[in-house]
Amino acid sequence: MRSRRFTLFAMMALGALLVVPAVGLAADAPKPPTMAHDASAVPSDFNVGSSINTLWVVIAATLVIFMQAGFAFLEIGFSRGKNVGTIVAKILTNFSIAAFMWWICGFALAFGNGKYFGNSGGFFFSLPDLADGVPSGGFSEAWQSSFGAMSFSSASVPSKFLFQFSFCAVSLAIVWGTTLERIKFGAYVLYAIVFAGVIYPVGAHWVFGGGFLQAGDAFGLGLTGVQDFAGSTAVHLIGATGALAALLLLGPRRGKYGPDGKPRAIPGHNMPLFGLGVIILLIGWVGFNGGSTLMAIDGRFPEVVMITMFASAAGVLSALLVAKIKTGSIDIGMAGNGMIAALVAITAGSGYVAMWAAPIIGGIAGIIVVLGVYAIDKKIDDPVGALSAHGLSGIWGTLACGIFTVPELAKYNAWGDPAGGLIYSGSFDQLIAQAFTVLVAFSFVFIASYLTFWVISKTYGLRVTAAEENAGLDISEHGMYGYPEQFIPAAELFSYGAVPALERIGTGPVSDPEATA
């Protein structure tokens, strides 16, 4: 022990001494050029407006990236303690695959110009400075014309790339809520490649990337363009639809349905961590909806954030009320899911509707999510309620624009019918466009996802064995419990350095053989 320490120390000291001869040797080498840092070399005439917009978009992207923790903890809280570490590994893996696929083709397909998919560039997206040096006028102008649907904002394209990547990662995170506690880890990897590379980009392109649903006149039908400000359909319904496809092939958790076919409650193991997830998602949504302005210079974004917060408040209260009526309890999970559902629902309308409409949209979402969870639970096993919170509420939120969009805001955003939603225009035009979008997006994503999961199930396999499911995914897929001290018998824990409780608190002798060291 002592000698090992000494050896290491000697080695380090030696390293230090090597600096001196290295100095000597290097002194004889020919001198390479070096630069004296010169502040005046830094360009200063960049576009102020673009800087402000870019700053907001990057901050919003950071908030949305933080939502990964929100989804992780919402799922962890709703899982049993034997299936919690796996969620950490999943979130990190999915985030990473999404990043690669977004870089390779996702961004190009989603936000490039084109009717059905983007094809104006951005594959293997690279930064403008590499080939050309620093662009004149700074980094903000490069690439803008290739991404027309976002070109109304002068935020730099890299900032938009980052922001939209964070959306793709959110949509992917939504997919897995239905699959907890029984899916094979590899299935995440395989589906994530397809989803982040193709399914999400194409679906999102149609709805808010400038594609045929947003541009209007889909299939020559003469429909007006769809309004989905931050992705009630483009992000949340798409994710939830993938989740439905996975669930149908995966089946329920063991023990979820009794021999009589009646559902049993499988309570999540940790409501505080669930709550952490919900609050992280709430502040993530500040960036999600507020950042979807893609600009700060016009001053619209605080109102978008206000509307988002108020809708969420209504969702909490209505969900609590409905759950109380149905079960007699003040349901913690429903309070959180009511908030999520309301946030999902206001996502489409946050840039289109008036303040007073926000609590209506959010409040109805809170009702939908509770009734949806109870109804769906009777037949299919969605452990976190994602089908209701992201699916049903995403549909409701998308439709709500057809009802509540304010004409001035339709014109300001310049998508859809300038006459506004039903209650302003008296016309169903916008509502039809919204419903049509829901139908098209759902159908595309469901079919593509079902096929993908079907192929996975027939090749790699989708579900762990019964024994693995009983043991929990942490130990069976990852080789160690997420909470070893709760799951490993005390006797076995001893070999990990644990000491029996009585000895720990000093009421008995310490039996550890090293105790005299």
Is 365 an interacting residue with respect to its own copies (CB under 8 A)? no
In whole angstroms, what is the distance from residue 49 CA to residue 60 CA?
17
Mark the segment that binds its own copies (CB under 8 A) among 109-117, 231-239, 264-272, 384-392: 264-272
CA 31 to chain centre: 50
Mark the segment that binds its own copies (CB under 8 A) among 62-70, 115-123, 384-392, 393-401: 62-70
N- to C-terminal Cα distance for the chain?
Answer: 11
Is 149 an interacting residue with respect to its own copies (CB under 8 A)? yes
Is 335 an interacting residue with respect to its own copies (CB under 8 A)? yes
Residue 459 CB, nearest distance to its own copies (Å)? Answer: 18
- Coil, strand, or helix at residue 297? coil
Nearer to its own copies, 235 or 280 (CB): 280
115, 116, 136, 279: residue in contact with its own copies (rule CB under 8 A):
279
Is 249 an interacting residue with respect to its own copies (CB under 8 A)? yes
Residue 322 CB, nearest distance to its own copies (Å)? Answer: 14
Is 471 an interacting residue with respect to its own copies (CB under 8 A)? yes
Is 174 an interacting residue with respect to its own copies (CB under 8 A)? no
* Per-residue binder mask for its own copies (CB under 8 A), 367-396, x = binder: ------------xx----------------
Is 198 an interacting residue with respect to its own copies (CB under 8 A)? no
121, 263, 371, 487: residue in contact with its own copies (rule CB under 8 A):
487
- Coil, strand, or helix at residue 420? coil
DSSP 165-223: HHHHHHHHHHHGGGGTTTB-HHHHHHHHHHIIIIIHHHHHHHHHSS-HHHHS-GGG--P
Is 38 an interacting residue with respect to its own copies (CB under 8 A)? yes
110, 162, 373, 389: residue in contact with its own copies (rule CB under 8 A):
162
Angle at 484 between CA 479 and CA 487, to 5 degrees: 100
Footprint of its own copies on 395-414 (CB under 8 A): 406, 408-412, 414
Is 123 an interacting residue with respect to its own copies (CB under 8 A)? no
In whole angstroms, what is the distance from residue 175 CA to residue 98 CA?
13
User: Based on C-alpha coordinates, what's the Rg of the chain?
Assistant: 27
Applying CB under 8 A, the site for its own copies has a residue count of: 233
Residue 34 CB, nearest distance to its own copies (Å)? Answer: 3
What CA–CA distances, in Å, run from 62 to 58, 282, 284, 411?
Answer: 6, 14, 8, 29
Is 143 an interacting residue with respect to its own copies (CB under 8 A)? no
117, 139, 176, 404: residue in contact with its own copies (rule CB under 8 A):
139
Is 339 an interacting residue with respect to its own copies (CB under 8 A)? yes
115, 116, 136, 221: residue in contact with its own copies (rule CB under 8 A):
221
User: Using CB atoms within 10 A of its CB, is residue 35 exposed (0-12), middle (13-18) or buried (19+)?
Assistant: exposed
Is 115 an interacting residue with respect to its own copies (CB under 8 A)? no
Helix ranges, 262-331 (H): 271-290, 301-327
Instruction: Tabulate helix, strand, coil % of the chain (nearest 5).
Output: 70, 0, 30
In whole angstroms, what is the distance from residue 72 CA to residue 473 CA?
15
What CA–CA distances, in Å, run from 378 to 79, 263, 265, 337, 383?
Answer: 19, 6, 11, 18, 12
Is 244 an interacting residue with respect to its own copies (CB under 8 A)? yes
> Would you say 499 and 110 are in contact if contact means Cβ atoms under 8 Å apart?
no
Mark the segment that binds its own copies (CB under 8 A) among 23-31, 110-118, 171-179, 199-207: 23-31
Is 451 an interacting residue with respect to its own copies (CB under 8 A)? no
